Every structure is written in C-alpha cells, then in structure tokens.
C-alpha cells in the first residue's frame, strides 16, 4: 500500500519509470559531448592561426585579415583564444640559448693546438720534477685562456641587448576593452593601439591610421621617419617599403594607429635578427689560425727532435729509453712556452695604442686582423654620413640657384647665390628669403643644444634659417591651424596669422612638388606673384629631377592667402652628407688594397649619389638591390659581390648574405654599422666595427671594435696598427726560434759526441735573465756515465721563466714599419712560419751555432777538459751573437740604417744593459766565482764582437739582396709595357 502511494507521487512529479529517467541522463551526456566537440573544434581553429609574413599581410584587406586571424577588429581576442594561441606561439620575447654551461665554454678554450702543446710541456716538466717550470707554463696558459674566455663571454651580451628593444608594456584590445598589458603577453591576432612615443611591441599590420609617422631607424638604419597607411598594397616591394606594416622595436614618432599583430617573438622580423645572431659564431681571426698552425708545426718539430735523438742513440748502441728521456727533455725545452703570453701582451699594447686614438678594441686578436682585411663593408647612415639632414641646394621659383655650406644643426654655414657667390642674409634676396621663411614656419621641429627634437628634415630647414639669421621669423606669426602630413596627400600646411594687425591670414605649405604645385596659381618672381605657366611648371619638374639624380630629397614650398590660390616659392634639396674625412679614409684604404663597399636601406639614387661623393669608385659604380641578393644563387653571389660597390634597399638578412658571400670568395671582411639592423652583419664579419656615439647598444655589443668619436677615418690607424703587429710578431718569433735552435743544437751536439758542456748551469741561467732567451736556453746538462749510457738532466728552466720578457716585448713594440703599411693585405693562408722566415731562422741559427762551436773548439785544451777561459769565451760569444741577432730581427725588410738606431730607445737601453751586465759577470771577482768565469782581454772582446756581428752582417746583406730583387721585378713589367 505504501509502495502504491509512492508510485502515484512519482507520477505526479513526471517520473513514470526507470526508462524515462535513463533517457534524461542520455540527453545530458549528448549535450556535454556536443559542447566538448565544439570546444575541441575551437581549440583546433586557434591552433591553425599562424604568424603571417609582412609581404603577405601587406596585401590583405582589413576584413580578410580579421578572418585569417579569427578576430573581431572592434572587440579583439577573447581570453580563451589568447590562452590557446600562447600554447602554440609562446611568449612574445626572445630567449637566449643557455644550454652550454659556462665551465664548458671555459674548457673549450684549451682546444687550441699551441695550448695543448704547452700543457704537454708542463706535464713532462712535472714528470721530470721541474715543478717551478710546470707552474710557470701553467700560469701562462691560464692567463691566455682566461682572457680569451672573457672576450667570448662578453660577445654574447649582444643577444641580451636585443631583447631590450621589446617594450615592457602596450595597449591591447581584448574582449571589447582596451587593456594595458605586458608586451610579452601578446599573441598573433591581438589588436594593438599605438600612439606617439610608443615602441612597437610586435610586427603589426595597420588597420586604422591617423597621421602616423614611425621611426624605423632601428630596423632600416635610415633616420627619416616613415609615413604609414592602412590601405592594402600591391606587394612586390622589400620590407623597408611596406607602408602598412610596423615592425617590433620601431618607434611611433607622431600620430595614432591600430592594427593586428602578425608576428611575435622569434616570428617577428626582429626575431629573425635574433635567430641569425644566435646561429652566427664569431669566426676565428687569421692570427688565431696562424697560431694554431704554429702550434702544430712546433708539435711536429718536437716529435722530430725525439725521433732524431732516439735514432742517434740507437746507432750508438745506447738504451732507447734513456735516449727517449733525453729527446723528450730537449723537445720540451724547444717549445716556446712564453710565445702565447708574449703575443697577448703585444696585442694588449696595440689595444692601448688604439685606445689613445679613440678606438676601443674588445677582442685582442682583432687588432692584428685589420692588417689582413681585404674588404670593408659599411652602413651608410650614421657611419659614412653624418646622420644629420642638411639643406645643400636651393632653387627659387624665378630660377635663382643657391648652395648651402655647413653640416648639422648648429647653424654654422652660409647661403651663397650661384654663380656670383654672394652671401645671403635675412631678406637681402627676397626670393631666397621667402623660400626659407616658408620652410621655417611650416615646421614642428625644435633645435636645442645643436640637437633636433622632431623630424630631421624639419630640423634641416630650421638650421638653414639659422644660417640666414631668420631663425626668429617663426615668432612673427601665430599658428591657427595645421593640416598634418599624410602619405596620401604628401604635404603639410599651417594657417598662420601675422602679428601685424593689418595683414590677413596666410598658409605655408611644404611637400612633394607634384602635390604642392596643384594648389598654386602663381609663382614668386622677386617678391611679385606672376601667373604659373606650363613653361614654369616644366622648369620646376626638370629642376626636381636634376636634384633627385644627385640623391637629394626635394621639398617644394608655397605660401598664400588660401589653399588653391598659393604662390609657388621654390625647391630645397636635402641630404644626409658624408662625414668629414670619409673620402680621404676611403682613398687611403683603396691604396692599401682594401675594397670599400656601401650597404644601405636607402633608394638607388641616394645610395649612388653618396657613393660618388665619397669616392667609392673612380669609374662607373656597380649597384645591387636586396631583392637581387635574394634571387641570385649562392655560388653566383660569391662571384658577383666582389665587383659591386653599392648595395641598396637591404635588410639585415641581405647584409648577412653579402658578408657570407664575400667570406666564401676568400676575403677578410670588416663591417661598420650603428643600428640594430647591422648587428647580425657586425657579428658574422671577421671584424665588426660599431659607432660609439650614435651606435645602438645592440650594435656595440655585437661588434668587437668601437669608434669612440664615430670617426670613420680612425679605421686607417687601426689598419696600420694591424699590419705592424703581425710583422712584429714575426720578428720576435724569428729571434726566439733562431736562438732556441742554436742553444738546442749546442746541447745536442755536446751530448751526442760526449763533449764537455759548452756552458754551465749558472751561465745559461744568466743568459735567460739578461736576454730572455727561449726555453731551450734555460736547460743545463750534467752528463755522466752510468749503466744505461748518457744521462741528461734539464735544470734551471723554471727559475727564470718570469725573470723578464725584454727581447720579445721590445721587438713586439717596435714602431710600425712604413714599408709594411704599403703592402697589400696579407693572405689568410699566410703563416707566421713562412718558408722565407724558416730559411732566415735556420740561417741565423747556423751562423750562431758555427761561431759558438768555433770558439768552443778554438779555446778547448788538447785534453778536451773544460776550463774557465773556454766557458767564458763560449758564454760571451753566445751572448754577443744573441745581441746582434736581436738587432737584425727588428725588421724583416728594412736595413738597420733605414730603421734608425734611436727609433726604439727601450730596445737600445736593453742592449746596453745586457752588455754592461755581461762585463760585470766577467770582471767582478765575486761573480767570477759564481759563474766560473775569468777576465778577458780587450782583443778577446773585439774578436768576439767581430765574430758575433757576422749574424747581423749576413742578415743585412740578405735584406739588401731581397730589396734589389724586388726592385728588379717591379721595373721589368714597366719595360715590357713600353
């Protein structure tokens, strides 16, 4: 009965049975499934939204763009869309690859062949219980390795500087509300609002524009702001001409705008720059490659010594293990462990000399690399040019021509009529005065402390007015109205009321000639308006074409009571002029064998005009556009770039391609630049040179050399320094190896033939202290007979490792040889140990060995016992040979009389000190007992001096023969030509 009542109650509630309840549950699950499917479809739809390349986005209409990015231009994206898109595209930021730990980067520095050889030398020193020597070698290696690591670590800072170009915040439209967000939160499809002073947070396709001017100098390198539009483009142009796209990192200079994000993070154009910079590794310098080859050559030389000693021992019937020990000791002694540290110090001194000339070198080997630079690529704006827009020519409507002198915004310069050269001030010439007045009044810029606040072009007009003492003319009017410039109308105008009460309002207009002249009915003829005839229009168009062909930006100016009844006033030609000294620097570089090329984002006409004015080419300039660089095959590009002097309409990607193509053709490439757009090229070039004052932080970090005063001509000094350093390195390598081979040979010969030691341990130690001879001279021997044969022990090496580096340092700081400066850039394949240098080393060593052995043999008594006189004569002979050898090693090509004895005074002081020290050792009784020497007569010293001078005389005669042969070879082609 109770169950029946419950059943009736359930029926009243509509639940008539379990079947109907089951159907209700099934319906809920179906709806949930549909919702889930719709959500999955929405997620898939969001995942399909991708970044759009600017060249494609510029062609899209607003509606098509909104459909492609699934966004409502009036409300923006929803939070759901933003979340899903961020899962695909990530944050709008650059993340540097830090996978390689710092310790691994440090250990990588030890892969240098010469460093490995020195570490092997230190290990052998430990095994032979020469602990002091091992410590000294290890210390030298650590210093060199640490300096190299610090330089490499600092070079990575350029990536960090690039990330600073992404602004921290932006204004974004989401879910119908304008929100102030972190820029890193943006995703493709976001609608971003822009206004004056904003830095663009991503690549954006504009959909709404109001008088928008954008400073794209960080992207294109060109200072002139770009006028933007929201209309679709036909496409086909390069990135620098896309007027409806704004790029990440650029700056809104004026106006407002709104647009859709088409690329974020590494999908943006700056992201491309970031990825290219990450992928680029700073190439090894030619000096580093030469040092690597030298390390390998010395390794082979060391193994050769070991093999030779073992062969001699085997032929003499001695134990191979004993002879192997002797060979290893001599091989270790032959290794110039001081060479890397000496090279480093020589480069440091070069860097210090460059710093005095206002050039900062961040990477030591770069100083020398400039000596073999064969191609110099340069950005135009701010590097070759002053980055200060300047009016250079005026053409009045009545046909007068005037030229303007002076560069920049300081008002220094004059305006002169042509051809009379009459200087014009204020309204001394009405036609010119009216033209300059219009440019000054129709102007929004301000010049303060010689710097322009506003558009550079308008700053140039104010500077022109200052040169004519008309800078205050603007105060004669009260501005009532402004019609701002836009890319569609191509002009701007202001309506002003003269402060004189009895005059009516007047309009001043400036802009493109074809647009301004449409509003003119008369032209100014000496202050009198005359009807504007077709002939007068034709004259103006011809003058505009002429000025444009010179690379000038041409502005037309007019004034009058109302738009449509204006009086045409004339034309102004504006350009960013070359820096002072650039033309002379390019001429010097060309004469030195360095080819100079200009890479710019400017148009062809402007690029060619600047190229001709700075003397890039005496004949016809060859030019190539960025689009051509893209279209040419890699192999063909490497063949063509060497013949091209001007590259125009280029992007960072094009600059990198050009640098790589030049390097593939075998050139050592230097790149100068000041903008973010130059950063990749600066990093990939063999020598990256940034501007210190106008350069961006990114360019300065990417470069390894900085011109503090932005003085392009300072590169001349750097090239001179680079050439001189390499020749000086060869000088002290020649000295060090020739004396090393000499000492090694003396020890080896005395060991092999069971002769007494030519020098005792204290004498060898003294030679190290006063001469800084090579490591081989630090070895002394004690020979004795044991059951295993000859036993040799190397002593005294460690005691003097840091006793002095005099000879090497003094040869390294030898003033630059002028003959070396006139030589063309050296080939990348040139080694420090060239065939010619090896022959000179062997010749000097042979003379030293022969002379020293002659004295040793001459002074040896019949019983072959070593006496104090024998060792004193041999000891002094070797010291004198080293002195004369160092004297001739000051130059590889010039005679000592051409160099001048007094040019390197520190060298002379060191020579005199060495001679005095040697005399003290010979004649002071206390030191005689220590060094086992005895007094020598005056005739002995004269005889030793004459004998030792033979190495100097032979070397100088060899230089003389080389000079004669070279002069003969230069004369022969002239006779053939005649």
Contact 228, 204 (CB under 8 A): no
Mean pLDDT of all residues in 692-700: 78
pLDDT for residue 323 is more than 70: no
**What is the architecture of the domain spanning 363-385+578-710?**
3-Layer(aba) Sandwich (3.40)
The pLDDT-based confidence of 466 (bands split at 50, 70, 90) is very high
Q: Between 397 and 19, name the one with better pLDDT.
A: 397
Kindly tell me the sign of the dihedral angle through the C-alpha atoms of 392, 398, 399, 400: negative
Mean pLDDT of all residues in 286-298: 73
Q: How many CB atoms lie within 10 A of CB 414?
A: 15
Which pLDDT belongs to residue 975? 37
* CB-count exposure of residue 829 (10 Å: 0-12, 13-18, 19+): exposed
Mean pLDDT of all residues in 82-92: 90
Mean pLDDT of all residues in 308-327: 70
Q: Buried b / exposed e across 329-352, counting CB within 10 Å, b at 16+?
A: bbbbbbbbbbbbbbbbbbbebbbe
pLDDT for residue 906 is more than 80: no
Q: Catalytic pick from 133, 203, 215, 379?
A: 379
* CB-count exposure of residue 623 (10 Å: 0-12, 13-18, 19+): middle
Which pLDDT belongs to residue 769? 58
Question: Which residues partner with 591 through β-bridges?
Answer: none
CA atoms within 13 A on the CB side of 371: 27
DSSP codes joined into one string, 896-913: HHHH-TTSSHHHHHHHHH
What is the distance between the alpha carbons of residues 195 and 379, in angstroms, rounded to a whole number?
Answer: 30
Mean pLDDT of all residues in 939-955: 94
Share of the chain above pLDDT 90, in %: 27
Mean pLDDT of all residues in 126-135: 74
Low-confidence winner among 35-39, 238-242, 557-561, 587-591 (lowest mean pLDDT):
35-39
What is the distance between the alpha carbons of residues 950 and 937, in angstroms, rounded to a whole number?
Answer: 21
Against a cut of 0.75, is the pTM above it?
no
Share of the chain above pLDDT 70, in %: 80
Q: Between 300 and 869, name the one with better pLDDT.
A: 869
pLDDT for residue 940 is more than 70: yes
Region 390-575: CATH code: 3.40.1110.10
pLDDT in tens, 554-585: 999 999 999 989 999 999 999 988 888 888 88
Joined together, the tokens standing for residue 934 give 């005895």
pLDDT for residue 149 is more than 90: no
Low-confidence winner among 250-259, 289-298, 667-676 (lowest mean pLDDT):
289-298
pLDDT for residue 328 is more than 70: no
CA atoms within 13 A on the CB side of 610: 34
Region 54-95+162-279: CATH code: 2.70.150.10
pLDDT for residue 35 is more than 80: no
DSSP codes joined into one string, 312-348: HHHHTT--HHHHHHHHHHHHHHHS-TTHHHHHHHHHH
Please indicate whether the domains covering 54-95+162-279 and 722-778+788-976 agree at the CATH topology level.
no
* Element (DSSP H or E) covering residue 391: strand 390-396
* CATH 1.20.1110.10 for domain 722-778+788-976: yes
CA atoms within 13 A on the CB side of 11: 6
Mean pLDDT of all residues in 898-909: 76
Q: Between 779 and 651, name the one with better pLDDT.
A: 651
pLDDT for residue 783 is more than 70: no
34-38 long-range CB contacts below 8 Å, 24 or more apart?
Answer: none
Which pLDDT belongs to residue 227? 84
Joined together, the tokens standing for residue 798 give 């460690």
pLDDT for residue 672 is more than 70: yes
Which pLDDT belongs to residue 509? 97
Joined together, the tokens standing for residue 89 give 């595209």
pLDDT in tens, 351-361: 777 888 888 88
Q: Is 379 a catalytic residue?
A: yes
The pLDDT-based confidence of 819 (bands split at 50, 70, 90) is low
Mean pLDDT of all residues in 198-208: 93
Q: How many CB atoms lie within 10 A of CB 230?
A: 17
Give the closest residue to 137 by CA, choosing from 407, 419, 2, 339.
Answer: 339
Query: Mean pLDDT, the chain, as a whole number?
Result: 80
Could you state, in order of their start, the residue ranges of all structural domains in the chain?
2-47, 54-95+162-279, 363-385+578-710, 390-575, 722-778+788-976
Which pLDDT belongs to residue 868? 87
Low-confidence winner among 31-35, 254-258, 540-544 (lowest mean pLDDT):
31-35
Mean pLDDT of all residues in 325-336: 62
Which pLDDT belongs to residue 848? 92
Cα angle, residue 294 at apex, residues 290 and 300 outer, rounded to 5°: 150
What is the distance between the alpha carbons of residues 273 and 219, in angstroms, rounded to a whole number?
Answer: 10
Sort strands 226-227 and 203-215 into parallel, antiparallel or unpaired. Answer: antiparallel
pLDDT in tens, 854-897: 998 888 887 777 788 988 999 899 989 988 988 888 887 788 88
Please tell me whether the peptide bond between 215 and the residue prior to it is cis, using omega within 30 degrees of 0.
no
Which pLDDT belongs to residue 972? 47
pLDDT for residue 19 is more than 60: no
Which pLDDT belongs to residue 74? 92
The pLDDT-based confidence of 338 (bands split at 50, 70, 90) is low
The pLDDT-based confidence of 941 (bands split at 50, 70, 90) is very high
Mean pLDDT of all residues in 518-546: 93
What is the distance between the alpha carbons of residues 488 and 486, in angstroms, rounded to a whole number?
Answer: 5
End-to-end alpha carbon distance in the chain: 139
């Amino acid at each position: 009965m109770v169950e029946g009542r419950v059943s009736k109650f359930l029926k009243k509630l509509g639940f008539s049975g379990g079947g109907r309840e089951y159907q209700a549950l099934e319906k809920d699950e179906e709806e949930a499934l549909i919702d889930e499917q719709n959500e999955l479809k929405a997620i898939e739809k969001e995942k399909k939204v991708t970044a759009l390349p600017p060249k494609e986005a510029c062609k899209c209409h607003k509606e098509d763009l909104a459909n492609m990015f699934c966004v409502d231009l009036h409300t923006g994206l929803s939070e759901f869309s933003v979340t899903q898109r961020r899962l695909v595209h990530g944050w709008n930021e650059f993340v540097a690859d830090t996978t390689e730990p710092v310790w691994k980067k440090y250990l990588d520095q030890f892969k240098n062949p010469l460093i490995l050889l020195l570490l092997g030398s230190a290990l052998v020193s430990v095994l032979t219980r020469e602990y002091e020597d091992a410590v000294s070698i290890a210390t030298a290696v650590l210093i060199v390795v640490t300096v190299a690591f610090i330089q490499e670590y600092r070079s990575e800072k350029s990536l960090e500087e690039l990330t600073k170009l992404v602004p921290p915040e932006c204004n974004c439209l989401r879910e119908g509300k304008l929100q102030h967000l972190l820029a890193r939160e943006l995703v493709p499809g976001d609608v971003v609002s822009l206004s004056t002073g904003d830095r663009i947070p991503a690549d954006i396709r504009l959909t709404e524009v109001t008088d928008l001017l954008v400073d794209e100098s960080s992207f294109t390198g060109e200072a002139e702001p770009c006028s933007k539009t929201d209309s679709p483009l036909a496409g086909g142009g390069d990135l620098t001409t896309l007027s409806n796209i704004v790029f990440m990192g650029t700056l809104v200079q004026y106006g407002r705008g709104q647009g859709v994000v088409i690329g974020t993070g590494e999908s943006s154009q700056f992201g491309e720059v970031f990825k290219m910079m990450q992928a680029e590794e700073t190439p090894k310098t030619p000096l580093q490659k030469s040092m690597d080859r030298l390390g390998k050559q010395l390794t082979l030389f060391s193994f050769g010594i070991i093999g030779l000693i073992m062969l001699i021992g085997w032929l003499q019937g001695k134990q191979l293990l004993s002879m192997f020990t002797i060979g290893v000791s001599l091989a270790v002694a032959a290794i110039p462990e001081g060479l890397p540290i000496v090279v480093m110090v020589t480069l440091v001194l070069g860097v210090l000399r460059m710093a005095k000339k206002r050039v900062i070198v961040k990477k030591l080997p770069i100083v020398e690399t400039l000596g073999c630079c064969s191609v110099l690529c340069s950005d135009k704006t701010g590097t070759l040019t002053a980055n200060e827009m300047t009016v250079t020519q005026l053409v009045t409507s009545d046909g007068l021509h005037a030229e303007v002198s002076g560069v920049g915004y300081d008002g220094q310069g004059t305006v002169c009529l042509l051809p009379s050269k009459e200087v014009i001030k204020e309204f001394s010439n009405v036609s010119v005065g009216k033209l300059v007045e219009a440019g000054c009044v129709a102007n929004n810029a301000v010049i303060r402390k010689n710097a322009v606040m506003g558009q550079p072009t308008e700053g140039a007009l104010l500077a022109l007015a200052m040169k004519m003492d008309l800078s205050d003319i603007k105060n004669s009017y009260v501005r009532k109205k402004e019609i701002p410039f836009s890319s569609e109308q191509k002009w701007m105008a202001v309506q002003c009321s003269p402060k004189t009460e009895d005059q009516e309002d007047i309009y001043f207009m400036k802009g493109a000639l074809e647009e301004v002249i449409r509003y003119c009915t008369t032209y100014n003829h000496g202050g009198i308006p005359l009807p504007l005839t077709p002939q007068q229009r034709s004259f103006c168009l011809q003058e505009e074409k002429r000025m444009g062909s010179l690379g000038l930006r041409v502005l037309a100016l007019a004034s009058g009571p109302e738009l449509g009844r204006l009086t045409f006033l004339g034309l102004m030609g504006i350009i960013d002029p070359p820096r002072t000294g650039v033309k002379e620097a390019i001429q010097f570089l060309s004469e030195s064998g360095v080819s100079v090329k200009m890479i710019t984002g400017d148009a062809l006409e402007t690029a060619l005009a600047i190229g001709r004015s700075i003397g890039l080419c005496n004949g016809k300039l060859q030019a190539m556009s960025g689009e051509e660089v893209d279209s040419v095959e890699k192999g063909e590009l490497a063949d063509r770039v060497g013949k091209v002097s001007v590259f125009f309409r280029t992007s960072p990607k094009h600059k990198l391609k050009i640098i790589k193509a030049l390097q593939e053709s075998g050139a050592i490439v230097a790149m100068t630049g000041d903008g973010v757009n130059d950063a990749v090229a600066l990093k990939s070039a063999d020598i990256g040179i940034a501007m210190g004052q106008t350069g961006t932080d990114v360019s300065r970090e990417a470069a390894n050399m900085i011109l503090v005063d932005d003085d392009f001509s300072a590169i001349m000094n750097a090239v001179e320094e680079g050439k001189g350093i390499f020749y000086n390195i060869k000088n002290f390598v020649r000295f060090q190896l020739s004396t090393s081979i000499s000492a090694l040979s003396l020890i080896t010969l005395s060991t092999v033939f069971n002769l007494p030691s030519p020098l005792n341990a204290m004498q060898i130690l003294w030679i190290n202290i006063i001469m800084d001879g090579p490591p081989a001279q630090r070895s002394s021997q004690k020979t004795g007979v044991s059951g295993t044969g000859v036993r040799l022990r190397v002593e005294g090496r460690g005691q003097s490792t840091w006793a002095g580096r005099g000879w090497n340092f003094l040869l390294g700081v030898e003033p630059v040889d002028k003959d070396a400066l006139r030589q063309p850039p050296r080939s990348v394949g040139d080694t420090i140990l060239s065939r010619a240098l090896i022959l000179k080393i062997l010749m000097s060593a042979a003379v030293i060995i022969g002379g020293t052995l002659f004295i040793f043999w001459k002074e040896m008594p019949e019983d072959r016992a070593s006496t104090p006189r024998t060792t004193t004569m041999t000891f002094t002979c070797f010291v004198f040979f080293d002195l004369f050898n160092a004297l001739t090693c000051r130059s590889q090509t010039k005679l000592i009389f051409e160099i001048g004895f007094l040019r390197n005074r520190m060298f002379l002081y060191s020579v005199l000190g060495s001679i005095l020290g040697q005399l003290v050792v010979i004649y002071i009784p206390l030191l005689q007992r220590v060094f086992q020497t005895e007094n020598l007569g005056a005739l002995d010293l004269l005889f030793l001096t004459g004998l030792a001078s033979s190495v100097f005389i032979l070397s100088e005669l060899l230089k003389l023969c080389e000079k004669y042969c070279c002069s003969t070879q230069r004369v022969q082609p002239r006779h053939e030509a005649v």
